[in-house]
Amino acid sequence: MKDPFNSPKVNIPRTIKHLPAEAFLTAIAHRRREVRRRKVKPFKPVYTCSMKVTEHFKKAKGKTLVSFEVLPPLKGGGMQAIFGTLDALMEFKPPFIDVTYHREEFIYKKRPSGYYEKTAIRKRPGTVGICAAIMHRYGVDAVPHLICGGFTVEETENALIDLNFLGINNVLALRGDARQFEDKFIAEDNGHKYALDLVHQIVGMNDGRYLDVNIQNGERTDFCIGIAGYPEKHFEAANDNVDLQYTKLKVDAGAGYIVTQMFFDNSKYFEYAEKCKANGIDVPIVAGLKPLTRRYQLSSIPRKFFINLPQDLVREVQKAKDDVAVQQIGIEWCIQQSKELKAAGVPCLHYYTMGDTETSKMIASALAF
């Protein structure tokens, strides 16, 4: 006999099975009512992290936290590359992990006709999926980077909706870099040109405002917004004061904390923090750190990130006999940086791992997190 009831399923006692059809259905209906009256245990989610980054800072009560930043694997790679990096770093109990986002790049493919076709490819996709996997596997919060480049405002809204549905309520709002071979940042048609515009859109969704004006009383998201800070100023800013003016606009718009670009001279961080305070920027400032590990980085880091390297560090690297020695110098320099910053009570030391697990682990191990 086909079961006329949808749910819940019940075990049918042998005595009931031998009843006439009408009595059988009556007995089954009675037992289903009994099942429905039973107390239902509350659902337990797979992970219970989902705290805002700023809440982690408050919970720490002045203790310096540690966090790490990872890159999505190259297209064709798997999650084991990410898990291989983070498995070794979880012993330091990072409350959150950042996952970078990478804009598409253009390549030129030669066609049979001999002409070249301009094609856009994204070499490192998967930021949102990686964030969900990190939260599921480790029970720590994930912070996806959200960039202006490569997104229209509609695509940005849809990405935020996806994050909200996944329970990911932290984002780092960035303009993003120019594409390779382009000398300046070019926004998408109907996309954001500045990170400030992106912050405004996220805050708008936190207030229940969507692009479609017909949506009234929309779902209010609850994103905690981080932004980038530049102790040695953004390379496009006319000067330090102009750079800080834009930072203050983003904080006033709703950004809750700042993550600095990497620096190798702690005095740059402390001076930056003082300037922020003097300009009314009163949010936590996370110290972004990365060790120098190869000799060629003496020129590549300043060229790419527009920062200075201290002469003492440069001198030691120049004297090193090989890159193994350079790596040890860079690790020790970063350890001493970290110790000084931790002693000063910075809210968080944020390490740009760039897939280098062992180096990040050696540095964090020296700090007794």
Return the closest-CA partner of residue 53 out of 262, 277, 290, 255: 255
Enter the tokens of residue 150.
């490569």
Structure tokens at 354: 């760039």
Q: Using alpha carbons, select from 330, 358, 349 the residue that is nearest to residue 69.
A: 349
Within 8 A by CB and 6+ apart from 166, the residues are 128, 131, 132
CA separation for the pair 81, 154 (Å, rounded): 31
Q: Which uninterrupted H or E stretch holds 142?
A: strand 141-147
Separation in Å, CA 257 to CA 39, 53, 69, 110: 43, 8, 16, 46
Closest CA to 191 of 104, 311, 83: 104
**Residue closest to 99 by CA, chosen among 68, 66, 77:** 68
| Dist. CA 142–CA 221, nearest whole Å | 16
What's the pLDDT at 43?
46
Domains in the chain, CATH or no CATH each: 1-40 (no CATH), 53-365 (3.20.20.220)
Binned average pLDDT, 10 residues per bin, the chain of 369 residues: 46 53 61 57 54 97 97 88 93 96 66 67 80 95 95 95 96 86 82 96 97 93 98 96 97 98 98 98 98 96 96 98 96 98 98 92 90
The two tokens of residue 214 are: 């017909």
> For residues 190, 195, 196 and 202, what is the CA-based torsion angle, rounded to 10 degrees?
80
| pLDDT of res. 38 | 54
Position 121 scores a pLDDT of: 59
DSSP assignment letter at 264:
S
The answer to whether residues 70 and 45 touch, using CB atoms and an 8 Å cutoff, is no
Asked whether the beta carbons of 28 and 9 are under 8 A apart, the reply is: no
- The answer for 267, left when phi > 0, alpha when psi is -120 to 50, beta otherwise, is alpha
Q: Are 253 and 236 in contact (CB under 8 A)?
A: no
Report the amino acid identity of residue 226. Answer: G
Reduced to 3 states (helix: H, G, I; strand: E, B; else coil), residue 99 is strand
Q: Kindly report the pTM of this predicted structure.
A: 0.83
Compute the distance between CA of residue 19 and CA of residue 44 in angstroms, rounded to an integer: 39
